[in-house]
Structures are given as structure tokens and as C-alpha cells.
Amino acid sequence: MPEPMAAPRASNGGKNKGGAYVDRDKPAQIRFSNISAAKAVADAIRTSLGPKGMDKMIQDEKGDVTITNDGATILKQMQVLHPAAKMLVELSKAQDIEAGDGTTSVVVIAGALLDACSKLLQKGIHPTIISESFQKAVDKGVEVLTAMSRPVQLSDRETLLNSATTSLCSKVVSQYSSLLAPMSVDAVMRVIDPTTATSVDLQDIKIIKKLGGTIDDCELVDGLVLTQRVANTGVTRVEKAKIGLIQFCLSPPKTDMDNQIVVSDYAQMDRVLREERAYILNLVKQIKKAGCNVLLIQKSILRDALSDLALHFLNKMKIMVVKEIEREDIEFICKTIGTKPIAHIDHFTPEMLGTAELAEEVNLDGSGKLVKITGCSSPGKTVSIVVRGSNKLVIEEAERSIHDALCVIRCLVKKRALIAGGGAPEIELAVRLAEYSRTLAGMEAYCVRAYGDALEVIPSTLAENAGLNPISTVTELRNRHAQGDKMAGINVRKGGISNILEELVVQPLLVSISALTLATETVRSILKIDDVVRISILTH
């Protein structure tokens, strides 16, 4: 039996033959590489933070342009390749799902915490100690934020409006916050029961984008709005509407691909046409018999959902027709007007119809038409928001802004507490964590102190973006908070420091807690990574 060979020395970039690293500096290099990549993402959107933040113009590969300062939207469109940087994109997405607001703040906080980690690692502190200390710091931070917060009642409309307005202040459409904030509050309050609700399903609030007009023309409709126009019938307005929603076609049946009809003379052709006419007339008569006077027809890809002949018969019977209804809108339509989708003519009965006071086609001052169905007798607690704008960029940014405002109100429904904005919570956390670090010993105390100092990035960035001196502003804030003025924050409008609660700059507690915990979790994950293994498919 031959003697086993000794393993050869590693010579290929610090790897041995089995693929394990023998280079002791490798984990540190990987860590610093990950931290640098993630910090680069945070720095890219840092200038977009706050009401005076800058906007980004994003152009995709097709040439389509988006103008926004919403952190989640910017990061979603960025082509990020580094795996650690992708974690920050996912972090922003997670904050968007959890709270809907604070998507820029959460990434900026994560970037500052990673910067703190980098300095702590350079001082020789072990990553596990840093990670555990950060967890202690965030637990203490949540306690501090909760103690700072104030309870809010959903019946307090003024406070809800202040929260929505604060969210809209940093948007491109901020000058319209006096219109959009009440609209967002009313939309949420109409789809929930304020006494029992613990969350809001934003699927019950449909945002319809319609080009033309200005943002001043946006409106909240207590009912259903369809972007499809009324099919070319004479009926465009129906009172006491009985509405049917069909998922079958009002057109002659066609043979399948394998069969065909052979017509040998004109008499047979005439017979086929007569039978088609009788078939369609029978369908329309059954619809009329059920008492339906407004018909919604789902879009079909197989054949015409509505033939000209069927439209002619429906017109004669004074039935208003809206065709090309999208499949994904069916559930919302049924919930709003209390109808049921009908898949076959045999099921078209009066019980399947929904009722409403009025269904009409509305002219939008020369920029198109909409169908509105209002006064639904069995509303399923849904509303529609019509967003208008002079161009696509404005409409899309208005939609994102309204979505953020809706999410802020949803946060207050989930956790009924408010906290001051303007960098006040972050400075308070920094001061209280510095005090807390004195009760700890050794490296833990040092790490907790570094965590608190890193949170000062939010007020520092707010001041910088507002054209103030960040160092003097943060120093003054720190002194005010150390003296017990918990509500001292940056007043961007006046360009100084004031009691931010009196300025009505408030945000939901859930937004702050979510941003802090999610950012810390992501930083701890990045910190514990000591190698990046790329698996490639071997080709033989």
C-alpha cells in the first residue's frame, strides 16, 4: 500500500487544496469590504433625508425617468451588485413593508452603525462583543423611545393630520400636503372601525392614476372608480343602478383550433349568422330579465369580450356597459359594490347583482373620462383615490407620497403612540445611551457609547441638508437634551432648534422603533459575516 502524500502548501491566494482559508487576515478583509459596500449605499441616499433633502433622477435601461426622494424607490431602482450592499436594499424594503415610512432614515442609521463597527473593529474589539453590545443598546433604545412617546386616539383628527403632513413634508409634492394629508386620513378612517381596528389593509384603498389636470384635482371617492370608458352605447348615466359583473364573452362562440365550419353556399352562411344573432340576443335578454342596468365585462384574451352586435342589443335595452375590466380588479370591485362575479349566463340572477345610487361616466375637463359608481348600498368598507397630474413623473411621485401618508396613519392604528420628529428621538437616544454605558463595564460600555454616538447621524444629516452647521447644531441639541429638554429638535422651516412637538412635527412611534431594530439586525448580520463564498456552476 503506497504511503499517503503530504498536503501541498497553499499557494493560490491563501487557499489550500480543500478550499479553506489559511490567511488569518481574510475574515477582517471581508468584514471591511462588506462594511465599505454597505456604507456606500447609505451615503448615496443620505442627501435625500428630511424636508430639505435633495431628489434623485433615476433613468432605467429603457430610458424611463423617475424623480423621487423616497429611499425605498431609489434603492429598488439601483443596480446593486455587492451582496452586503443588497442587504441594505432589502433593509429599506423591510422598513417599507413594516412601517411604510422612514425608508431613508433606516439605511442612513445602518450606514452610521457600520461606520461605528469599522472603528471598533480597528481597535481590536471582537465582532461578537460588538454584536451583543449593539443588541443591548437597541433594547435600551426601544425603552427610551417608548418613554418619550405620547398616546394618541384615532378620534383625534388633528394629530393624525399632523403625522400625515410631516410624512408629506419631505416629498416633491409637499406644497399640496394641505390637500393630500386630509385625504389620506379620511381614506384610512373610512375603511376601518376605529374602536376595534388593530391594522389597516391598504388593498381596500385603491389609488387610480389619471393623466391630466393638476394635483389640486386629486379627490377621494367613497365608491368605485374605473379608468375604462363606457362602451359606445347611448347610456352614460344610470340612477338606482343594478350592477352585474360577467367573466364570459358576449360574442359568438368560436370553434377550437382542431375544428372548423365548412360553408358551401350563401344559405348556410345566412343560417350561421342568424344563429349567432339569436345566441347573442338570448344572452342579452337573460341579462335584462335579471334586472341588470349596468354591466361590467372582464377582459378576455381568447376572443372579443363584447361583439358589436351584443353592444347594439344592450344599447337598445338601455344597459350601460363598461368592458375591459382587469382580472386583478375583480376582488376590489366585488367588495366595493357587493356584486359577485358571474362565470356563466345560467348563473346570471338578481341575487348576483350589486346595487348603487348612481353610476355615471364623468368628463375630466378634456383629459379623458372616468366611470364613477357611488352610493353603494352594501359597501365593503373600501374607497378610491383619484390622483391627477400634468405628467407621468408627477403622478407617480404623488402616488408614492399618498402611499407613505396612508402607511403613517396605518402605523398609528397598529401602535397608537406618537413621537417627536426633527432628530429629537435620535439625540435623546444618544444622551440616554451615554448614561446607560456608564452602568456597564469594559468593552460593552465602549460599544454602547459608540452605538449612541452613531445615531447622531440623523440630526447631523437633517442640519446639513437644511444648510445649517451640523457640528454646532448637534452640540446644542445634545446640551438641550442633557438638561432634560426631550422635545428639542431641528426646526427646518425656521432654520434653528425649537420644541419640535409645538411645531407639530410628529411621527408614529412604530416608524422609529422599526427603523432602529431593523437597522441593528442588519448591521449585526453584516458584522458576523467573515467570508463570502461564490459558487459557480462547473462546466465539463
Active-site pick, 101, 186, 329, 404: 404
**Using alpha carbons only, how large is the chain's radius of gyration in Å?**
31
Question: H helices within 71-156, ranges in order?
Answer: 71-77, 83-98, 103-122, 127-148
Would strands 294-298 and 237-246 be described as parallel, antiparallel, or unpaired?
parallel
Residues 6+ apart with CB under 8 A from 118: 32, 35, 39
| Per-state percent for the chain, helix, strand, coil, to nearest 5 | 50, 15, 35
404 classed as catalytic: yes
104 classed as catalytic: yes
Three-state SS for 386-411 is EEEECCHHHHHHHHHHHHHHHHHHHH
The Cα–Cα gap between 108 and 460 comes to 11
Contact 7, 498 (CB under 8 A): no
Residues 6+ apart with CB under 8 A from 332: 203, 204, 206, 224, 382
Chain position carrying cell 413593508 = 97
Three-state SS for 482-539 is HCCCCCEEEECCCCEEEECCCCCCEEEHHHHHHHHHHHHHHHHHHHCCCCCCCCCCCC
4 burial type by CB count under 10 A (0-12 exposed, 13-18 middle, 19+ buried): exposed
349 classed as catalytic: no
Chain position carrying cell 386629486 = 218
70 classed as catalytic: yes
Please give the grid coordinates belonging to residue 388: 391627477
The β-bridge partners of 221 are: 384
DSSP conformational letter for 52: T
Q: How far is CA 477 from CA 128, 238, 297, 484, in A?
A: 32, 62, 61, 11
Question: H helices within 415-456, ranges in order?
Answer: 424-437, 442-454
Closest CA to 504 of 491, 486, 485: 491
Active-site pick, 47, 66, 68, 70: 70
Three-state SS for 138-151 is HHHHHHHHHHHCEE
Please give the grid coordinates belonging to residue 468: 445649517
Active-site pick, 47, 66, 104, 233: 104
Residues 6+ apart with CB under 8 A from 131: 524, 527, 528
The Cα–Cα gap between 200 and 177 comes to 22
Active-site pick, 68, 103, 233, 461: 103
Closest CA to 436 of 138, 148, 146: 138
Residues 6+ apart with CB under 8 A from 518: 91, 94, 95, 98, 106
Catalytic residues: 70, 103-104, 404
